[in-house]
Structures are given as structure tokens and as C-alpha cells.
Structure 1
Amino acid sequence: MPAGRPASTPTTAAPPSSAAPTRTAPNPTATAVPPPAPVVVLRPGDSGPKVRALQARLRQLRWLEGDVDNDYGARTTTAVRGFQAKRGFDATGVLDERTWDKLVAMTHAPTTDELANVRPTPVQPKPGALSWDVDERCLKGRVMCVSKTTRQLTWVVDGVPQYGFDVRFGSDELPTREGVFSVYKKQVDVISNLYHTPMPYSMFFSGGQAVHYSSNFARLGYAGASHGCVNVRNKPLLIQLYNEVRVGDKVVVHW
């Protein structure tokens, strides 16, 4: 019987290997969408009443000296640039919406006199009223005018004294600083980090020095002294002042 051919051995196909997940390579040519350009309100070269109003607001914060006019020239550009740099904005000198909104929040709408460069004349107190001791630097804008001679704080708005009250200052070792400042922070409940004493209704104007209520002053009067702050003992009137004063308002401490 002839020998038959050997039977072929069936082969088993290898299972397909698991395909690795496909990853999309980053596109080196793709670029991020740039943020929208700031909306410009006014720019150098512009003119008109809007420029005058801008200048008046800058002058309220002492970023602009001299009279206001209608021209957005080098003087206005420098003032806008300085205001922007102080607030951490791009100091372009161009008035954009962000800069304008911040400026409006820190100032009041210019008065007719401010726009016309009319210098305010302070009024005299009525007979029998508290006599005002107002330095000439207190005659523009909104000012807490503090006299070391009369130991008096006078709240002055556009050259017109509104009301005033007694204040107390620091000692010779811890004097209250003199000069022109502005309120940079307000806080109702404050405890001094250095002296651990309460400083309610604080309006800070120079480092840690502030105008604030002092129960010690109310109790002891001028037998004591502050640690450099301007102490007030008339609490109801101070609360009224605290509610009226804005961040950015001027503080003048003088003899």
C-alpha cells in the first residue's frame, strides 16, 4: 500500500496585537489667541471738554499741576502715565477704559469752578463757631487738614471748611509726620501690629499712621500722646467723617 503524504499540521494565526492609542502631536505653528486690545477712551492729540474733565480729575489727585485746558498734550500724557504706573497698569499714557474706571472711582465729578480754573475762597466761620486753622494746601479738593498748632482737624471740601474737632499727636520720640499725604486705606476694626492697641475707624495716610478714634484720648485728653497717629476723641463726628472720606482724599498735617 503506497505510503500517503503526511498530513499537514494546521497553523493557528497569532492574535492581533493591541494597537497603541494614537496621540496627536502638538502643532508647533499654533499660537495662543492674544487678549483683546484695551478700549481707548482718550489719547494724546485729542482735545475738547472730555480732556478737560480728565485733567480736572487728575488734578484732584495731584497728578496734574496748574490749570486745566482742552488739550491732551505732553503734560496730560505724563500725568496719565504716572497714575497708571502707581496702580500697576501698563504705563502707556493713553487713557483706556481700565484707567478711566479707576480714576472715576477715586475722584468726584469736576465742579464748574474746577473746570473753569476758579480758585476756591474759604469761608469764615460764623461768630461763636470753632475757628478754622486751614493751611493753603487744604484749599483744593477733599482734605483732612490737621493743625499741630491748634490741635485741630478740619474737614475741607473745595476750600470750604465743613466741621472740625480736637486731635492729639505723637510724642517727640514717635512724632506724627508732617506734609501732604493721601488716604490709602480705610478700616473700621484695627489692632496695631506694633503696640497691640485698638485703632477703630482708621484712615491710613502714611505708613502705619492713621486718623482714628482713641478711647485713651477721650479718657485722658492731652495728658497722653499717640504712637504717631492722629487721635480723635469725638467718636460720633469721626464716624461721620469716616463715612465721607474716600480713599485718595488728601491729608495735610501742618503747624
Structure 2
Amino acid sequence: MISRRIASRGVAVLLATMTALLAGTLAAGAAPAVVAKPAPPAPRTEPESDLVPGVPPTGQQWQIDTPDQVLPPRTYTPTPREDRIEPRRAPAGAYDLVEYVPLSDAVTKVTCSKQTGPYQRQVERWLGLKADGRQSGADCKAIRAFQLTYKIKPAIGFAGPVTWSTMMLVSAKKSPNAAKNCPVRSYKVACVDLDRQLTWVQKGSKVMFGPVPMRSGRAGHVTRKGWHTIYWRHKNHVSTLYNQPMPYAQFFDGGEAFHAVYGSIYTTVGSWGCVNLRLGDARTLWDVLKKGDHVYVWGRRPGT
């Protein structure tokens, strides 16, 4: 009983003290505290998985998955006749630079996108804009100008994967190994840059092939980094897993190989580990490399 009385007196004293303090504050002319307004929501950044081709797909150019081997192939020596047969040509428009954009932008066919792209900050930085990662009218105008110059469709100023990949290729044209990430050797080295999604071949400081754009492995199936050796080549290989063509396949690590795909390599979904190339690039690389040549892989594909 006594403890309850003491507790009650304590609460009463505390309330009286708080009331007195509040009264003194108001008497002194101090304004009561104002509750801060919630901050405005950050602009939405479209994840790559939610994007769609900005122009209607035609033919076979929008092959979402890639016909990779995954498991090591059964190696054998192709017959001379088999080696003479060239893989079929890619359909017209298969490698057009078609940007991936939000569905709402594609449906309404906007002139200038107001949405923040997944590569917003990188694209802003490349163009010398304020790299705040937020789409603005000035950003859209500058991105759209770049897209028009390099024939990226639709040119609506959205900072998507095709625009970013094109910037990486343009930057690397003169000196792809300027950062010295690919080891310089007296022999040929096929360089696979996962950071910029580029491939080239160098011997010493001389670039023998590329750089060219590529598509490497997706999350969970990343292209394995480090040194590899081309151990088997098959010009007309067919995936034993998907029963799909892998033209000009050059295997360098288990089921991972350089090979062409009959569709866009700029899709937001990565491969199952292989280095996917456009048909013409894969054909040229076939003539540059041979069995026993070295491959060096480094970096990290964006989004993996």
C-alpha cells in the first residue's frame, strides 16, 4: 500500500514538473515544436527486369534466353565437310540498337522520358552532366542527342542498358586496355571485360580484334574469372541442353564459350555463362583465335 502511494506521488510530481516547464516555455514566447513534413519520394528507378524493347520485335531478334551449353560438351573432331559449312545468317534487324524502356514509355511513345533509368548516374557522368542519378529535362535532352547520333531506337532519352553499352564501346575504341586490366603478354590473349561488357584480342600491346560488345553470364551463372584456355572449337555447334545453335563456338572453360546468338546481345538478361557475340564478330574471332590460345576474364557484369 505504501509503495503504491509513493509511486502515485512520483507520477504526480513528474506531471506537475512537465506542466510547469511547458507553461514557462509558452510564457517566454517560444513557439511550440512543429512536426517536420515527410521528404518527397525519390524518383523511381526502373530495374532492368521491368524494361521492354522500345520498338516492336520482329523475326527472331528478341531471343530472351541464350542457347548456352552449361555443361562441358562432348568433344570430337569435326569432318572437313562439316568445317566448310558456314552457320546460317542472322535475320535482318537482329542486332539493331533497340533500347529497353519502361512499358509505359513504350506504349505511349513519349518523346522524352521523365523516368530514371537503371544506368542514369553512369550515363550522366559519361555525358559530363550532374551525376545525381535523377532524370531531368536537361538529362533527357542530352541522352536523346547521343541516342540519335548512334541510331539507338527509340531515342527518348531513357538511360537504359543499350545506351550505356554503346557508351562503353565508344570509349574503348581507341585503347580498350588503357586501364591495363588485361595482362599484356607476348602471345595472344582474348580479353573479356565483364565491367564494360566488351571483348577484344591483343598480342603484346597490339589489338588484333575488337573491342566488340558482348553479353556475359547472369546472376548465379556468372562467366568465370581468371585465366582459361580454348580447348575445343566447333563452327556449327548445337547446345545439347537447349538444342539451339551456338555458331562459331570456342570453348574455354567447361561449358563456357565464345559464340554467336541470333538476337540482341543487349538484353537485360545475361547468358548462362557463355560470352555471347553478334554473328559477324563471332565469325571474325573464329579466324583470330585457335585451340590453345589464352583467355582472361575479369570484373563484374552490372546487375550480378
TM-score tier (shorter): 0.3 to 0.5
Q: TM-score, normalised by structure 2?
A: 0.39
Decide which structure has the larger Cα Rg and report it.
Answer: 1
